[in-house]
Amino acid sequence: MPRVKRGVTAHASHKKVLDAAKGFRGRRKNVFRVANEAVMKAGQYAYRDRRQRKRQFRALWIARINAAVREMGIDMNYSQFMCGLKKAAIEIDRKVLADMAVFDQPAFAKIAEQAKASLGAKTCRPRTEGRPARASLFLFRNNEFAHESRRNSQGCRAGVRGCRQPAHPRSGQGPLPGQERRHPSQMKGLGALPAEERKAAGARINQLKDQVETLLRARRDAIQAAELARQLAAESLDVTLPGRGDAVAALHPVTRTMARIEALFASIGFAVADGPEIETDFYNFTALNIPENHPARAMHDTFYLEGGNLLRTHTSPVQVHYMQKQQPPLRIIAPGRVYRCDSDVTHTPMFHQVEGLWVDESASFADLKGVLADFMARFFERDNLPVRFRPSFFPFTEPSAEMDIGCVICEGAGCRVCSHTGWLEVLGCGMVHPNVFGHVGIDAERYQGFAFGLGVERLAMLRYGVDDLRLFFENDLRFLRQFA
């Protein structure tokens, strides 16, 4: 005989029971029975505590009603009281009656009289000794909250005035926490009052509530005002003190000097070139016609790295890179950081240098003098700044010269800065050596050029009147703010 297919409702019920049984699966009859028993047992445990709490509350309501009836001198027990209410056609929940017995005894007394009158001359069961005392004690304990909630306005004022702490910001209440929460219990008892008394009782409760809220609000404002006054007195500011100025950032004096140099050379057609700070021996020495026995290659003057590399001692390698990639005519400056093993008042291990290069078919020493004299005059903003060129030696230039300018401190009269000579040495220069052109593949018979190199910190010291080069790198804000 074919198996009958279950209906939708039966299948859903079966699946629900199996799912609730936490893992029981299968369609056999024994498995289904075990699963069903497990679910029913779990349900009994789930509702057992709830039923027990409900019984406890029901016993509490009955005890309150019994205690209130005996306190009023009415010879009735709970069963007779509820029977009288039923005969008088008064339907009130037991919980409401229990609340009225504690919080609104006058209304409860009237309801009890009506219940007693509806019973007529029927005799009540005599009460046993000891029960009234226990009931009275129970009612007394539960009436403490009722007496406190019905305190008059004078008692409220005294309690509010005694508060010294402001309300918690999340409580939503005043200095008397819980005062507002007691009024709803009294409002619930209004339903048990006759219609002619309900309006007056509600008005009295609302009036007391408004009075308490007004007192709480006023006290809270007073406490907050006192706290604000205390804070203002403790944290007062002296308005006679100077205010704090806005912190404004500014460029470092070396950075400002570098930008000024680049702008002045760019105005006469020089491009700005850049290169790596870690160089090889070829670009830093060999390509610039510096022989192997030159003092610049010594360990005490150059920072050597592993693998044969070194930190560049000048920015001239940038010129070599540029001439390998570009063909004349060329006009560039190469600003950047350079490194040497030297540290004193006028030297630091790291400093900034700007080197220039001009290569063309007709470049001459006269062009070199004109470019540098014009630059110095515009840099120091002196129209008639005296300059002079002294013969010197550099491996990568021939002829070579040192350029001096008239002392910008003493105007040539002689001072400590210029060693009382009236002249300041500012840079070295000269015509590019033919061997340098040979290393970069430029025809020295067709092209010629000149090069120069100057220290940025040296010009910054002269422009801003600084006598110690190391001050630029100590990051003393008191010193640096002078140039902001």
CATH code (residue 41)? 1.10.1900.20
Q: Report the SS3 class of residue 350.
A: strand
Classify residue 209: in a domain, yes or no. no
Sign of CA dihedral 95, 98, 104, 110: positive
CA–CA distance, 262 with 335 (Å, rounded to integer): 8
Whether residue 37 is contained in a domain is answered as: yes
| CB-CB neighbours of 273 under 10 Å | 20
What is the tens place of the pLDDT at every residue in 177-220? Answer: 444 444 555 566 666 667 777 777 777 777 777 877 888 888 88
Largest pairwise CA distance in the chain: 148
Same domain, 326 and 472: yes
Q: Which tokens hold the place of 219?
A: 């006290």
Report yes or no: 368 and 356 within 8 Å, Cβ to Cβ.
no
User: Ranked by mean pLDDT, which of 77-81, 164-168, 301-305, 314-318 comes out on top?
Assistant: 314-318
pLDDT at position 452 is 95
Residue 323: inside a domain, yes or no?
A: yes
Residue that is last in its domain, among 83, 118, 153: 118
pLDDT at 146 over 50: no
Helix (H, G, I), strand (E, B) or coil at 484: coil
Residues of the domain holding 63 = 24-118
Q: How far apart are CA 103 and CA 185, in angstroms?
A: 8
Report the run of H or E that residue 293 belongs to, with start and end: none
Which are the contacts of 263, defined by CB distance < 8 A and separation ≥ 6? none
83 lies in a domain? yes
Interatomic CA distance for residues 350 and 41, integer angstroms: 86
- pLDDT for 143 beyond 50: no
82 C-beta neighbours (distance < 10 Å), count: 18
List Cβ neighbours of 454 (8 Å cut-off, separation of 6 or more). Answer: 261, 353, 354, 355, 426, 427
Q: Quick check: 127 and 75 in contact, CB under 8 A?
A: yes
Report CA-CA distances (Å) from 44 to 24, 41, 56, 58, 312: 19, 5, 18, 21, 89
- How many residues belong to the chain? 484
Where does a domain end: 67, 92, 118? 118
Question: Is residue 259 domain-shared with residue 110, that is, in the same domain?
Answer: no
pLDDT of residue 177: 45
pLDDT for 126 equals 45
In eight-state DSSP terms, residue 420 is: T
pLDDT number for residue 417 = 75
The string of pLDDT tens digits covering residues 254-282 is 999 999 999 999 999 999 999 999 999 89
Query: If you average pLDDT over each of 64-68, 86-90, 196-200, 359-363, which comes out highest?
Result: 359-363
Q: What is the pLDDT of residue 28?
A: 56
Question: Average of pLDDT values for 54-82?
Answer: 82
Are the C-beta atoms of 430 and 451 separated by less than 8 Å?
Answer: yes
**pLDDT one-digit tens code per residue, 385-420:** 899 999 999 989 999 999 999 888 787 777 877 788
Instruction: Please give the share of the chain, as a percent, with pLDDT higher than 90.
Output: 27
- Average pLDDT, rounded, for the chain: 78
Strands in 137-203 per DSSP E: none
The two tokens of residue 211 are: 């009075």
The model's confidence at residue 32, banded by pLDDT at 50, 70 and 90, is low
Give residue-wise pLDDT tens across range 299-352: 557 888 888 899 998 999 999 999 999 999 999 999 999 998 876 666 778 889
Span of 121-130, 223-232, 349-358 with lowest mean pLDDT: 121-130
Q: Please list, in sequence order, all residues whose beta carbon lies within 8 angstroms of the beta carbon of residue 298, skipping any fewer than 6 positions away.
A: none
> Rounded to whole angstroms, how far apart are CA atoms 433 and 41?
107
Nearest-angstrom CA–CA distance, 460 and 257: 6
Orientation of helix 29-71 relative to helix 94-103, angle to 10° = 30
Residue 440 domain-assigned (yes or no):
yes
> Which pair of tokens denotes residue 235?
């944290």
DSSP SS3 for 461:
helix
Number of structural domains the chain divides into? 2
360, HSE (Cβ side, Cα atoms, 13 Å):
10
Q: Is residue 344 part of a domain?
A: yes
How far is the C-alpha of 258 from the C-alpha of 414, rounded, in Å?
Answer: 28
Examine residue 466 and state whether it is found in any structural domain, yes or no. yes
CA–CA separation, 116 vs 205, rounded Å? 28
Report, as an integer, the average pLDDT of 131-160: 46
Q: Nearest-CA neighbor of 20 among 47, 2, 38, 44?
A: 38
Is the residue at 144 inside a domain? no
pLDDT tens string 374-386? 999 999 888 888 9
Select from 92, 118, 144 the last residue of a domain: 118
| pLDDT tens by residue, 425-483 | 899 999 999 999 999 999 999 999 999 999 998 899 888 888 777 888 888 888 888 88
The CATH code of the domain that includes 364 is 3.30.930.10
Pairing of the two strands 310-311 and 278-279: antiparallel
Q: Which residues contact 348 (CB under 8 A, 6 or more apart)?
A: 342, 457, 469, 470, 473
- Asked whether 75 and 169 are in contact (CB, 8 A), the reply is no
Rounded Cα gap, residues 173 and 175, in angstroms: 7
Spatial distance between the Cα atoms of 250 and 104, rounded to a whole number of angstroms: 79
pLDDT at 135 over 50: no
The neighbour count for residue 431, using CB atoms within 10 Å, is: 18
Q: Does 117 have pLDDT greater than 60?
A: yes
Residue 82 — φ and ψ, nearest 5°? -70, -35
Confidence of residue 147 (pLDDT cuts 50, 70, 90): very low
Claim: this prediction has a pTM higher than 0.85: no
